[in-house]
């Protein structure tokens, strides 16, 4: 449950619209709603391995591959 709060709850709190935050965050915090995050890569299908790689490059990461943020 803590993973859902930390990942899904954080995404909603940072990027969600005010009405989404009001509707979702209380139930996420109480463990009544569990979220999920899907990852995909451009041109890949369900059986393709992920090709994106993130390598530590202080103070951030260097990301290579085909991922697209949408």
Instruction: Give tens-digit pLDDT for 5-53.
Output: 777 888 899 999 999 999 999 998 888 888 776 666 666 666 666 677 7
pTM score: 0.50
Helix ranges, 5-58 (H): 10-15, 18-29
- Whether residue 2 is preceded by a cis peptide bond, meaning omega within 30 degrees of 0, is no
- What is the per-residue pLDDT for 33? 87
**How many angstroms separate the CA atoms of 45 and 24, rounded?**
30
- What is the per-residue pLDDT for 53? 78
């Amino acid at each position: 449950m803590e993973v859902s709060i930390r990942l899904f709850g954080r995404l909603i709190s940072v990027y969600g619209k005010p009405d989404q935050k009001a509707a979702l965050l209380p139930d996420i915090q109480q463990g009544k709603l569990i979220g999920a995050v899907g990852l995909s890569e451009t041109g890949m299908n369900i059986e393709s391995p992920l090709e994106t790689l993130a390598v530590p490059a202080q103070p951030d990461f260097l990301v290579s591959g085909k991922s697209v943020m949408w």
